[in-house]
Amino acid sequence: MKRTFPVIVILITLSLLGLFIIQSSWLNNLFEIRNTELLNKAYEAASNVTAKLTNNAPASQRLRLPKRGGLTFNPDFHLHILKPPTIDQRFTFQDVHKMVRQEFDAVGLKEIKFEFAVIGPTEEIEMSTKKFSSEYWDTILNKRIYLPIVPASASDFEGLSATEYLVVVVPDFQKQAWASLKWVFIGAVVFMFIIIAAFYVTIRSLLNQKKLSEIKSDFINNMTHEFKTPLATISLAVDAIRNEKVQSDPEKMKYFSGIIKEENIRMNKHVETILQAALMEKQELKLNLKKLHVHDVVQHALDNHQLQLQDKQGMVELHLNAANDVIEADEAHFTNMISNLVDNAIKYSKDKPLIRITTHSTTKHILIRVEDNGIGMSKESVKRIFEKFYRAHTGNLHNVKGFGLGMSYVKTVIDAHKGKVKVDSTLGKGSAFTVEMSLMKGHQN
């Protein structure tokens, strides 16, 4: 697992990078296709407008008389009166604008903005939109379409008039092209986020699997060691009991049988710890609530650890200052919880443990504080102390026996009783666990 994990992460990262490159290339190609499509449609719409402007011309050309007074025989008179009317004489600006808008909508360019102008034969602007002049000269961002408005072929005097032009400008063409692809772009971004999220979940799952694998190996090693020691001791004690000299000495028989009993109790305690962990995993921690006196529970827990304290030459300072110590709790689980705190203080203390247990009551709660002069914990250990199977290490060595389940059990029991627990610790100086429990109703001040 340790060797394959970096390889898997690298492969997933390369796959994600490759997918990002492919998606970017696909979006660029799609944009180019959309550019061409929009330009072709804009050209088609403009062509349809010029066709309408031509086809809607009058069947017979209108005579245009000179504006000067009187009738004269100007040499150019026949050309002047036969000149066909221009676009601005046959259509209003609103007519042409509506015509262009309708054609753009008809070819699927409803959201595309445009500017247009009709340019006369002498290149004067007959009609235009307000922003046409400013947008016309920007050839970098805008697209221009020139189309001639050819006079109707039915006219006998077609050759007498010069050609007019319809000029259509699409401002910010690329911006509008991207805007027309906004839903595709949003979909691509959402898809990319989904892929990144899947990548994150995959990496997180791999990390969790790696962590669980390490925890499993650590737990199996600890469990093997914890069971191997009492089993070896029991085996030696049994071999000694089989010796005839020992059998003939009642004192030695009592001593070795006592060892077997103690080791058996230790093994039962380990089994009970593992079973408690299984119950917590299934969330089947059932409480049998009853009236309890916290001070009695603390005293009972200390009595059970007298041998460990004597073995380490430890001392306990009791400051049972709580005026009210009556709570409603499960006797077995609450006692085990206090016992675990005391056991933890003994195990992680120095050569001569000094444990201080203090209680204090308020109007609604009782505080139980268990302090030690032990090795203390780092900030990282304090954050993770209540995680299942987590154990504070000294370097790479496990100086203290256990499964890493005690503090997890403490947190589970406190949460089940709707209490709170706080940890204060300084590396090298010791730790303090403060438990807050609600006083039993009817006994609150």
Q: What does the pLDDT look like over 380-438, one tens digit per residue? A: 778 878 776 666 554 433 455 555 667 877 888 888 888 999 998 888 888 899 999 99
Average pLDDT over residues 39-64: 71
Angle at 329 between CA 358 and CA 269, to 5 degrees: 80
Q: Are the C-beta atoms of 355 and 317 separated by less than 8 Å?
A: yes
Q: The tokens of 404 are what? A: 């890493």
- Which alpha helices (DSSP H) does 305-395 contain, by range? 306-311, 331-347, 379-384
What's the pLDDT at 357? 92
Nearest to 431 by CA among 369, 351, 367, 363: 369
Higher pLDDT, 185 or 169: 169
Q: Give the separation between CA 83 and CA 7, rounded to whole angstroms.
A: 83
**CA dist 113 to 107, 222, 271, Å?**
14, 74, 78
- Structure pTM? 0.48
Q: Give the separation between CA 197 and CA 202, rounded to whole angstroms.
A: 8
User: Across all residues in the chain, what is the average pLDDT?
Assistant: 77
Which helix (H) or strand (E) segment holds residue 133: the answer is helix 132-136
What's the pLDDT at 71? 42
Average pLDDT over residues 38-45: 84
How would you class 400 by CB atoms within 10 Å of its CB: exposed for 0-12, middle for 13-18, buried for 19 or more?
middle
Higher pLDDT, 83 or 426: 426
Higher pLDDT, 287 or 338: 338
Q: The tokens of 393 are what? A: 């290490």
The SS3 of residue 80 is helix
Average pLDDT over residues 357-370: 91
Higher pLDDT, 56 or 148: 148
Residue type, 179: A
What's the pLDDT at 360? 92
Q: Is the pLDDT of residue 151 over 70?
A: no
Q: Is the pLDDT of residue 185 over 80?
A: no
How would you class 360 by CB atoms within 10 Å of its CB: exposed for 0-12, middle for 13-18, buried for 19 or more?
middle
Q: Give the separation between CA 358 and CA 335, rounded to whole angstroms.
A: 16
**How sure is the predictor about 78, in pLDDT bands with cuts at 50, 70 and 90?**
very low
What's the pLDDT at 276? 64
What's the pLDDT at 443? 64
Higher pLDDT, 163 or 76: 163
Q: Give the separation between CA 167 and CA 177, rounded to whole angstroms.
A: 20
Q: Is the pLDDT of residue 346 over 60?
A: yes
Nearest to 154 by CA among 59, 237, 227, 70: 59
Average pLDDT over residues 281-302: 81
**CA dist 56 to 150, 198, 366, Å?**
12, 61, 96
What's the pLDDT at 165? 87
Q: The tokens of 46 are what? A: 């403009």
Q: Are the C-beta atoms of 277 and 409 separated by less than 8 Å?
A: yes
Q: Is the pLDDT of residue 156 over 50?
A: no
Kindly give, in sequence order, each residue whose CB lies less than 8 Å from that of residue 89, ignoring residues fewer than 6 positions away.
none
**CA dist 218 to 213, 225, 380, 392, Å?**
9, 11, 19, 13
What's the pLDDT at 4? 60
